[in-house]
């Protein structure tokens, strides 16, 4: 038997067109029951847009989190919508993302957060520092050649001192020396600024 809601929009989710569902999923002011109905509905793209909605309700977020696979999980984690215990972050990473090349950019979204300042959740990602180090150590050669990937680690609010030092002393890859030497130099400089920032903060915290 179909669930009955008090919201007329929620009750009509099964009757909406795909474009109508996407519009409701994107709208920050969509009511809670409609969000829940979309999260339980059939249209996957609408559910993905709902996961990205900064005002998604806890009930709808939980419904999406319990879906199979990693797509919704990556969005919800990346935006800080779902908060886990430290151990759970590592469990999710190892189950869905570790050594899975198909999910590489989703993994970045999940554990390093939004890449651009205008995207939701830019500073809301809560990946623990220990896991950031594990993810860094698991990066393939292709990602290690990309300064913008490495930069996302030092921009993360939980970047640990040891990881900032690793990036601050990283060598420019052989195949990047012709065109990207200056980019790697800027990366190392920024990483050492991060080292100084973390050291200063930890020193103040220990007083």
How many CA atoms lie less than 13 Å away from 24 in the CB half-sphere? 28
Is 175 in a helix, a strand, or coil? helix
Is residue 27 over pLDDT 80? yes
| Residue 117 pLDDT class (50, 70, 90 cuts) | very low
pTM above 0.75, yes or no: yes
For the segment 38-65, the average pLDDT, to the nearest whole number, is 96
pLDDT at residue 35 in the model:
98
The alpha carbon of 24 is separated from its chain's Cα centroid by a whole number of angstroms, namely 23
pLDDT at residue 36 in the model:
97
pLDDT: which is higher, 2 or 68: 68
pLDDT at residue 118 in the model:
42
Query: Alpha-carbon distance 89 to 101, whole Å?
Result: 19
pLDDT at residue 10 in the model:
96
For the segment 105-118, the average pLDDT, to the nearest whole number, is 77
Phi, psi of 56 (to 5 degrees): -60, 140
For the segment 28-38, the average pLDDT, to the nearest whole number, is 97
| Residue 204 pLDDT class (50, 70, 90 cuts) | confident
Is residue 120 over pLDDT 80? no
128-171: pLDDT as tens digits? 999 999 999 999 888 899 999 999 999 999 999 999 999 999 99
pLDDT at residue 122 in the model:
53
DSSP 12: T
pLDDT at residue 147 in the model:
93
2-26: pLDDT as tens digits? 788 999 999 999 999 999 999 999 9
| Residue 116 pLDDT class (50, 70, 90 cuts) | low
The alpha carbon of 134 is separated from its chain's Cα centroid by a whole number of angstroms, namely 16
Is residue 105 over pLDDT 60? yes
164-201: pLDDT as tens digits? 999 999 999 888 888 889 999 999 999 999 999 999 99
């Amino acid at each position: 038997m179909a669930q009955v809601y008090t919201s007329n929009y929620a009750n009509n989710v099964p009757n909406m067109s795909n474009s109508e569902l996407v519009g409701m999923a994107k709208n920050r002011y969509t009511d809670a029951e409609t969000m829940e109905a979309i999260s339980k509905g059939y249209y996957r793209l609408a559910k993905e847009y709902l996961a990205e909605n900064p005002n998604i309700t806890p009930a709808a977020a939980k419904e999406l989190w319990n879906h199979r696979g990693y797509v919704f999980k990556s969005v919800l984690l990346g935006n800080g919508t779902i908060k886990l215990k430290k151990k759970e972050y590592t469990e999710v990473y190892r189950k869905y993302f570790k050594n899975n090349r198909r999910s590489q950019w989703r993994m970045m979204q999940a554990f390093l957060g939004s890449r651009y300042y205008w995207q939701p959740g830019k500073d809301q990602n809560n990946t623990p520092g220990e896991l950031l180090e594990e993810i860094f150590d698991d990066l393939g050669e292709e990602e290690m050649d990309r300064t913008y990937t490495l930069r996302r680690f030092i921009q993360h609010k939980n970047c640990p001192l040891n990881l900032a030092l690793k990036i601050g002393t990283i060598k420019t890859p052989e195949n990047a020396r012709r065109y990207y030497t200056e980019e790697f130099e800027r990366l190392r400089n920024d990483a050492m600024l991060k080292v100084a920032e973390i050291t200063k903060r930890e020193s103040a915290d220990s007083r």
